[in-house]
Amino acid sequence: MHEEPGHPGVPMMTNQEFRTYAHELVDWMADYLQEVEHFPVRSTVGPGDIIGRIPLHPPPAGEPFGTIFADFRNTIVPGMTHWQHPSFFAYFPANNSPPSILAEMLTATMGAQCMSWVTSPAATELEERMMQWLGEMTGLPPSFTGVIQDTASTATLCAILTARERRTEFRVNAEGFSRERRFTVYASTETHSSIERAVKIAGLGAAALRKLPVDAGFAMVPEELERAIARDLSLGFEPLCAVATIGTTGSTAIDPLKRLGEICSRHGIWLHVDAAYAGTALLLPEKRWMIEGIEFADSFVFNPHKWMFTNFDCSAYFVRDAASLVRTFEILPEYLKTPEQDRVHNYRDWGIPLGRRFRALKLWFVIRSFGVEGLRERIRSHLAFAQSFSRNVGEASDFELLAPVPLTAVCFRYHPAGTDDPATLDTMNSALLDALNKSGRLFITHTRLNGRFALRLVASQTNVTQQHVDAAWDLIRATARSKEVLHEGAR
Amino acid sequence: MHEEPGHPGVPMMTNQEFRTYAHELVDWMADYLQEVEHFPVRSTVGPGDIIGRIPLHPPPAGEPFGTIFADFRNTIVPGMTHWQHPSFFAYFPANNSPPSILAEMLTATMGAQCMSWVTSPAATELEERMMQWLGEMTGLPPSFTGVIQDTASTATLCAILTARERRTEFRVNAEGFSRERRFTVYASTETHSSIERAVKIAGLGAAALRKLPVDAGFAMVPEELERAIARDLSLGFEPLCAVATIGTTGSTAIDPLKRLGEICSRHGIWLHVDAAYAGTALLLPEKRWMIEGIEFADSFVFNPHKWMFTNFDCSAYFVRDAASLVRTFEILPEYLKTPEQDRVHNYRDWGIPLGRRFRALKLWFVIRSFGVEGLRERIRSHLAFAQSFSRNVGEASDFELLAPVPLTAVCFRYHPAGTDDPATLDTMNSALLDALNKSGRLFITHTRLNGRFALRLVASQTNVTQQHVDAAWDLIRATARSKEVLHEGAR
């Protein structure tokens, strides 16, 4: 730490020090990525273990970077769950990749805030082009316009708000809810929890959300939608919006978009398509059947930050009617006016936050570095891993699949012969999950399907290979069959 | 690019390549930061210049990183406005600093998604402690609990939603707006545009927002609040929430928190304090008078990503009643349940997005690297720069200050003797702004105060020194006095 001209007495890391430390970090970063699979996937710390090691009060004087970095390695890293571990099979992935990390380094260095065109022309225009690339890559109609949001939760909220405003001719924005109109929103029991959160935030109330029953494959049933709409209309409700999910969070079920879309179109209902995870699979022409009927959709979201090797956060939100999206959110205080404002995109008006990071750069680096064919090959290999794992489950007499496997999530459970009590099976599988994750050798999560406790393995991590998936199966089978877990489960 | 085991035929950047490129980037990054002041501050490109240089379609095959990085340098960088340029005096800053960039490198590499404790225990617990540090550093009552949001816009929306829910006993979340209750929200004409956006999103309607007139210093007038509340009560409205701003965007006016708080407290109105920019000044004990009355506040937001040298995005949101915040947003689908969920913070329920980046790390690096005293010294020097600039303006017979300068923003205009027509002065200053920003030697923005077009210079950039502020003044004065600008302005 040296003094710097212009700030007498105030130490700040010099440029030379920054350069030295950054090189040091790069070696740690490359080592980390190389060795990540030697860490326990899920952190082994308990609640309070980490915070107890961080001082209660901030330091009055600056500390040497060497100390800070050592604390990072010794205190923080052991408390992390390693999302880039190839045996991270939990939730949906939040993949990064080398080109994405490189882009994030540059983004952090420039530190540009991209709210308006003028505040970052290149970031704005690169975002516009990258959204065109993603639209083409996923087979969306060219009439869709894209914008990057932080998460699919936010994108879904934007969809519901825009639906609300377009339907009311922007009167809720202007005057609040009127006293006469009661709106309803449709989704399935398997749709993501963010739908309910969005319905609440938008002031519609959770009671307005119709969670429709699903079919045997956990997909929405068009007849149920039709019936619910008819019932609501007869009771004086106004059906406003429906959410179709391509790849539900529980079991990656695929709602029948075309038939749902026809119904929505007939009733003038905004159709939002949540493909947060599965959207990446649309890069494969052979998976485009999943969005047959997309021409009926008003909005569509998928997250390159899940499966497409692009650092969180980066959610691609597409709309058919960009003008209504902008009109829902636009604000134009004097201090944000610029001469060219009518000839450019000012993405601050395309969502909730005013400030925006430069998120298009990592997409550009990822897409160009892998190439579309390179991305496809990797996605295809993930699909094949899931098929191989599900074959193993299907062939084992003491395991069973609990849902179809259209993509990379496998929902299954241990079900040894003679154990048929539902509660016992749930307890047993819950104990199995716990034992597996405590091993540190993999991380899987669970869900409930038809009331049953289901183990859930998602084979989409950037670094996963067939060997990791095979090792996971070996470990799961061996752990399940070991006396301890059975005993634990039976207690 | 080499083939990788497990993905036959699919090239991906190898670890060794990543290491090499990342080192190459570090040298570019350090050079960039060293040389940033040699770039034009505001990009000189025009609308369409950049997008025209990005191919219409994504590449089928992967491209070498050298090509991608060269395109970044040649196509993207010239199209960027340089927010880390020491002569960036526009808007409010979005400062980074060397330790913050180092933290972002590590964050991007680990790529952890921090929605729940279990998905990143260390990130969750470090966030808890960093919020305690920030609360202490800014002099907030210890009863406040903090959480990181992306932006103050989002934090303000969270405040209004929580106010709405607590007042209605969570009934709007459950059932939507009832037919009888009409809520109102109070702020000044100078409050940030995000308040109106939040009021709209929350379903209250822009008509519910009372934008109260300000005093000669652009601060809220307690009597106006009292009067508006009385009027609304008499008309059957329910006063719900008031927003006090510490450091307005236009002129950094400071609303009188204590008197506003007493009024809100008396009427049971949620008081949200927006100190997005000015919160950093609270690190200085001599600036704590700005939040006298903070004990009346229900929520408070400030952005370390503006003035506190921490990469965007990082907005620190504090609440007195964390339980109501969580209850407003919480969702608990099966796939997110964990055994320790009741003993830990799961920050996914503290705001709108489900997924979250690891943003506490950069705060930890920044606070420890500067030290609290180091941060204070730097903030004090920025305040001194603004004072010196405003003295220069005040002493020049052909310039005038248009607002008090309590912090680091100076609002002023060129006003030569004999030119008193308001429209001419506006045109002249608008032309001056344009000429200055086109020079590339500084970037300032504008606002309107009492209807007058005001130039606005904010001296808070990480790298700004007295020399940059003096050079800005020399350039502004010389440009204003040059015949061309006068001519331009008089046309």
pLDDT digits (tens, 9 = 90+) for B137-178: 999 999 999 999 999 999 999 999 999 999 999 999 999 998
Predicted confidence (pLDDT) at residue A296 exceeds the cutoff of 70: yes
Q: Which residues 259-298 on chain A approach chain B with CB closer than 8 angstroms?
A: none
DSSP reduced 3-state for A138: helix
Q: What is the pLDDT of residue A486?
A: 59
Mean pLDDT along residues B92-116: 97
Residue of A nearest to B377 (CA): A10
The residue among A464 and B4 whose pLDDT is bigger is A464
Mean pLDDT along residues A473-480: 97
Q: What is the pLDDT of residue A11?
A: 60
Predicted confidence (pLDDT) at residue A151 exceeds the cutoff of 70: yes
B37 touching A (Cβ < 8 Å): no
Predicted confidence (pLDDT) at residue A163 exceeds the cutoff of 90: yes
Q: Is the domain of B371 the same as that of B307? A: no
Q: What is the pLDDT of residue A6?
A: 44
Mean pLDDT along residues B408-414: 98
Q: Is the CB of A361 less than 8 angstroms away from the CB of B150?
A: no
Q: Is the domain of A372 the same as that of A483? A: yes
Q: Within a domain: residue B52?
A: no
Predicted confidence (pLDDT) at residue B354 exceeds the cutoff of 60: yes
The residue among B4 and B110 whose pLDDT is bigger is B110
Q: What is the DSSP string of A406-465?
A: SSSEEEEEE--TT---HHHHHHHHHHHHHHHHHHTS-B-EEEEETTEEEEEEE---TT--
Q: How confident is the model at residue A343 (pLDDT cuts 50, 70, 90)?
A: confident
* CB contacts < 8 A (A, B): 530
Predicted confidence (pLDDT) at residue B5 exceeds the cutoff of 60: no
Report residue B419: phi and psi, to 5°.
-105, 100
Mean pLDDT along residues A52-81: 97
- The tens digit of pLDDT for each residue in A358-368 reads 999 999 999 99
Q: Is the CB of B369 less than 8 angstroms away from the CB of A9?
A: no
Q: Is the domain of A352 the same as that of A376? A: no
Q: Is the domain of A158 the same as that of A119? A: yes
Residue of B nearest to A344 (CA): B47
Cα angle for residues B135, B141, B145 (degrees, 5° grid): 55
In angstroms, the Cα distances linking A260 to A27, A157, A245, A270, A294 are 51, 20, 11, 11, 10
> DSSP class of residue A74?
I
Q: Is the domain of B247 the same as that of B372? A: no
Total domains in the fold of chain B: 2
Q: Within a domain: residue A223?
A: yes
For an interface test with B, the pick among A69, A80, A470 (most B C-beta atoms closer than 10 Å) comes out as A80
Q: Is the domain of B372 the same as that of B419? A: yes
A193 touching B (Cβ < 8 Å): yes
Q: Within a domain: residue B26?
A: no
Residue B298 Cα, gap to closest chain A Cα (Å): 19
Q: In sequence order, what are the residues at sequence separation of 6 or more whose Cβ sits closer than 8 angstroms to the Cβ of residue A355?
A: A113, A115, A348, B94, B150, B151, B153, B305, B312, B313
Q: Is the domain of B321 the same as that of B292? A: yes
B23 contacts in chain A (CB < 8 Å): 23, 26
Q: Within a domain: residue A40?
A: no
Q: What is the pLDDT of residue A24?
A: 98
Q: How confident is the model at residue B403 (pLDDT cuts 50, 70, 90)?
A: very high
Cα angle for residues A302, A305, A310 (degrees, 5° grid): 125
Find the domain containing A427 and state its range: 367-490
Q: How confident is the model at residue A338 (pLDDT cuts 50, 70, 90)?
A: confident
Q: What is the pLDDT of residue B7?
A: 47
User: How far is the C-alpha of B201 from the C-alpha of A354, rounded, in Å?
Assistant: 14
Q: Is the CB of B102 less than 8 angstroms away from the CB of A25?
A: yes
B270-274 and A145-149: which strand pairing? Answer: unpaired
Residue A131 Cα, gap to closest chain B Cα (Å): 11
Q: Within a domain: residue A10?
A: no
Q: What is the pLDDT of residue B335?
A: 75
A38 touching B (Cβ < 8 Å): no
Q: Is the CB of B339 less than 8 angstroms away from the CB of A434?
A: yes
Residue of B nearest to A116 (CA): B81
Last residue of a domain, one of B357, B382, B402: B357
Residue A209 Cα, gap to closest chain B Cα (Å): 10
Q: Chain-wide mean pLDDT for chain B?
A: 95
This prediction has a pTM of 0.96
Q: Is the CB of B99 less than 8 angstroms away from the CB of A13?
A: yes
Q: What is the pLDDT of residue B3?
A: 41
Residue of B nearest to A182 (CA): B176
At A166, which CATH number?
3.40.640.10
At B402, which CATH number?
3.90.1150.170
Mean pLDDT along residues A136-140: 98
Residues facing B273 on adjacent strands: B244, B300
Q: What is the pLDDT of residue A354?
A: 95
Q: How confident is the model at residue B473 (pLDDT cuts 50, 70, 90)?
A: very high
Q: Is the CB of A57 less than 8 angstroms away from the CB of B96?
A: no
To which residue do tokens 């159709």 refer?
A: A271
Q: Which of A134, A92, A94 is nearest to A360 (CA)?
A: A134
Mean pLDDT along residues A51-77: 97
Q: What is the pLDDT of residue B343?
A: 86
B83 touching A (Cβ < 8 Å): yes
Q: Is the domain of B377 the same as that of B304? A: no
Q: Which of B241, B113, B248, B107 is nearest to B185 (CA)?
A: B241
B33 contacts in chain A (CB < 8 Å): 15, 18, 109
Q: Is A365 left (phi over 0), alpha (psi -120 to 50) or beta?
A: alpha
Q: What is the pLDDT of residue B178?
A: 81
Q: What is the pLDDT of residue B333?
A: 79
> DSSP class of residue A76?
I
Q: What is the pLDDT of residue A334?
A: 79
Mean pLDDT along residues A462-487: 90
Q: Is the domain of B204 the same as that of B278? A: yes
Mean pLDDT along residues A307-325: 97
A355 contacts in chain B (CB < 8 Å): 94, 150-151, 153, 305, 312-313
Q: What is the pLDDT of residue A488?
A: 54
Last residue of a domain, one of A357, A381, A399: A357
Q: Is the domain of B334 the same as that of B424? A: no
Residues facing B302 on adjacent strands: B316
Residue B407 Cα, gap to closest chain A Cα (Å): 18
Q: What is the pLDDT of residue A475?
A: 98
User: How far is the C-alpha of B457 from the C-alpha of B180, rounded, in Å?
Assistant: 47
Mean pLDDT along residues A282-288: 98
Mean pLDDT along residues B398-407: 97
Predicted confidence (pLDDT) at residue A120 exceeds the cutoff of 50: yes
Q: Chain-wide mean pLDDT for chain A?
A: 95
Predicted confidence (pLDDT) at residue A357 exceeds the cutoff of 90: yes
Q: How confident is the model at residue A9 (pLDDT cuts 50, 70, 90)?
A: very low
Q: Which of A299, A221, A227, A229 is nearest to A254 (CA)?
A: A221
Q: How confident is the model at residue B380 (pLDDT cuts 50, 70, 90)?
A: very high
Q: Within a domain: residue A22?
A: no
Residue B362 token pair? 């950069």
Q: Within a domain: residue B37?
A: no
Q: Is the domain of B273 the same as that of B148? A: yes
User: How far is the C-alpha of A192 from the C-alpha of B194, rounded, in Å?
Assistant: 27
Predicted confidence (pLDDT) at residue A491 exceeds the cutoff of 70: no
Predicted confidence (pLDDT) at residue A441 exceeds the cutoff of 60: yes
Q: Is the domain of B431 the same as that of B336? A: no
Rounded percentage of chain B residues whose pLDDT exceeds 70: 96
For an interface test with B, the pick among A41, A54, A134, A175 (most B C-beta atoms closer than 10 Å) comes out as A54
Q: Which residues 369-388 on chain A approach chain B with CB closer than 8 angstroms?
A: 369-374, 377-378, 381
A465 contacts in chain B (CB < 8 Å): 5-7
Residue A50 Cα, gap to closest chain B Cα (Å): 6
Q: Within a domain: residue A75?
A: no
- The tens digit of pLDDT for each residue in B269-314 reads 999 999 999 999 999 999 999 999 999 999 999 999 999 999 999 9
What is the ipTM metric for this complex? Answer: 0.96
> How many alpha carbons lie under 13 Å from residue A416 in its C-beta half-sphere?
17
- The tens digit of pLDDT for each residue in B326-348 reads 999 998 877 777 888 888 999 99
User: How far is the C-alpha of A441 from the C-alpha of A430, rounded, in Å?
Assistant: 17
Last residue of a domain, one of B332, B357, B382: B357
